């Protein structure tokens, strides 16, 4: 039973069929089988948040989910969110506010920040800080990231008719 298993899923809107070993986690599946290397692998035990992706619309740690568990699921990665334009304003805010330096944590930060902004249009800084508490950044000191998320929230609110 340690043999490869057949899975069918949707990744960024495209149907994917693959053969995977049970031990393969979702992060490695995305990176090594599908070449979607925007999903970063940091700690591999759920602490750093760099591997955050969406599964059926909800953010999860892709290092803590097996690829075989995604059979029938819909996955969205940072490539999907970026290509669709869903987070183009958030990405621009990250650039404008110097919210990234080395960029390693950025895909996970963007996934988590967008999840917050979808659920809450007017988060205060404390709420943003709390929501992002599961995403480590080793460069920025976080203030600039919180600035960028706060700025995007304000811009989206102002843009609403």
Task: From 7-15, 30-38, 80-88, 127-135, give the range in contact with another protein by CB under 8 A.
Answer: 127-135
Q: Does 96 bind another protein (CB under 8 A)?
A: no
Q: Does 29 bind another protein (CB under 8 A)?
A: no
Separation between Cα atoms, residue 86 and residue 88, nearest integer Å: 6
Smallest CA-to-CA distance from 81 within 122, 61, 49, 53 is with 53
Nearer to another protein, 5 or 34 (CB): 5
Nearer to another protein, 14 or 126 (CB): 126
Nearer to another protein, 1 or 35 (CB): 1
Q: Which residues contact another protein (rule: CB under 8 A)? A: 1-2, 5, 21-23, 25, 28, 44-46, 49, 52, 58-61, 63-66, 68-69, 112, 115-116, 129-131, 133-135
């Amino acid at each position: 039973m340690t043999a490869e298993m057949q899975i069918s899923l949707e990744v960024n809107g495209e149907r994917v069929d693959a053969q995977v070993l049970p031990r393969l986690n979702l992060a490695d599946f995305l990176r090594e089988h599908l070449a979607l290397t925007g999903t970063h692998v940091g700690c591999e035990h759920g602490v750093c948040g760099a591997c955050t992706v969406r599964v059926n619309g909800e953010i999860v740690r892709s290092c803590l989910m097996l690829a075989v568990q995604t059979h029938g699921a819909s996955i969205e990665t940072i490539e999907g969110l970026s290509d669709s334009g869903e987070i183009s304003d958030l990405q621009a805010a990250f650039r404008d506010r110097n919210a990234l330096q080395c960029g390693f944590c950025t895909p996970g930060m963007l996934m988590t920040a967008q999840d917050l902004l979808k659920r809450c249009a007017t988060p205060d800084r404390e709420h943003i800080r709390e929501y992002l508490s599961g995403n480590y950044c080793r460069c920025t000191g976080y203030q600039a990231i919180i600035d960028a998320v706060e700025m995007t929230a304000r811009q989206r609110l102002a843009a609403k008719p």
